[in-house]
Amino acid sequence: MPINVIDHRQPFEPQLKAFGLHGVKYILVLNSPDQYLNELVKVVLPQRENLLGLAVRTTG
């Protein structure tokens, strides 16, 4: 399985499409998840077995 890396400072969806992907099943966020939630919901595939892992504290 190839590993594709995206730039977290750019919109996620166009970068995934450039790799030929329509979305992702697994997401792991290790820093500032509140900054990325809007982007994450655009790219996570609509399946029950998907996983969104947040390993940090959000603001507030």
**Among 42, 39, 40, CA closest to 52:** 40
**Among 32, 60, 24, 51, CA closest to 5:** 24
Give the per-residue pLDDT at 54.
56
pLDDT in tens, 21-57: 988 887 877 777 788 889 988 998 877 655 555 556 6
Domain ranges of the chain: 25-60
